[in-house]
Amino acid sequence: MIVTPFGSCRIEGIAHSSNLSNEISYTHCTKEIIQLIKYINGDIKLQNYYDRFCMRTSIINKEFMKYEPSFKERFDKTDVFVLEITSMKKYIYKDRYFSHIAVDKRIFDKNYKNTPEDILNETNVILQTDEEIENDILEIQKLVFPRPIIVVSHVNVTYKGKKLEKRDYLITLLEKICKKNKIMFINPTNLLTQFEQSDIMEPDLGHINPITKHILYNHINLCTSYIFQKGDFYKRDPILLHQ
């Protein structure tokens, strides 16, 4: 079994990973996932002067991505895709979706300091609509068909006694979309109810600690194995595929 996670460092260590996200870019919104899939498949070329700010690896290395044929080979051999969707924000410059680390000045690691000022000033930050996110998820489903997808949300947290409004909204929305379209959905919050928030989250409330990763990875691994075995069963008995 080969699993391709499209997401952040929160899901980088799941079992049987193709490692594509680690090598190319972490993604946070649905638009970034679609762009990454199209890049892997060779449908878009990152050759414009501003394309270096699309992918995390090229941002950190301060040079353009070198496309490797193994990217598509691993994508084509993938059995299950895991989509971690943790943001409704899309960072748009011309015809590209940028990684937030290239243009968001609130980011601690300061990668944006290597981004030209004109690009920083002309990048638009737009919140996706509910309908757009649902359509994107369905488009991703078509792009990877017939392989199945699993959607994973962020961990819900509170700050000064209140939930983070946009994060809570997105988690609820993703659950609704997945239920409507019969897509497996994992809300990590539900796996961690026995813990205090300080036990599972880093102080920035964005990153999860090793304990949380262990719990989340185990659950995702169980889900990918289940889907893989179920899919293999259907392949061996195609009559059941239509029942």
Distances (CA, A) of 18 to 15, 56, 107, 186: 9, 17, 27, 20
Range of the domain at 19: 3-241
CATH number for 80: 3.40.50
Phi-psi region at 89: left, alpha or beta (left = phi > 0; alpha = psi -120 to 50): beta
Q: Rounded to the nearest 10 degrees, what angle do helices 130-144 and 165-181 cross at? A: 50
C-alpha gyration radius of the chain: 18
Tokens 């193709």, located at residue: 18
Pick from 44, 18, 13: which is nearest to 31 by CA? Answer: 44
The tally of domains found in the chain comes to 1
Q: What is the pLDDT along the chain (243 residues), one digit of tens a residue?
A: 999 999 888 888 899 999 999 999 999 999 999 999 999 999 999 888 999 999 999 999 998 889 999 999 999 999 999 999 999 999 999 999 999 988 887 765 677 778 889 999 999 999 999 999 999 999 999 999 999 999 999 988 878 888 888 999 999 999 999 999 999 999 999 998 888 888 888 888 888 888 888 999 999 999 999 888 876 544 444 333 332
Distance CA 233, CA 82 (A): 20
Q: Two tokens at 43?
A: 């449908």
Element (H, E) at 6: strand 3-6
pTM of the model: 0.90
Neighbours of 202 (CB within 10 A): 11
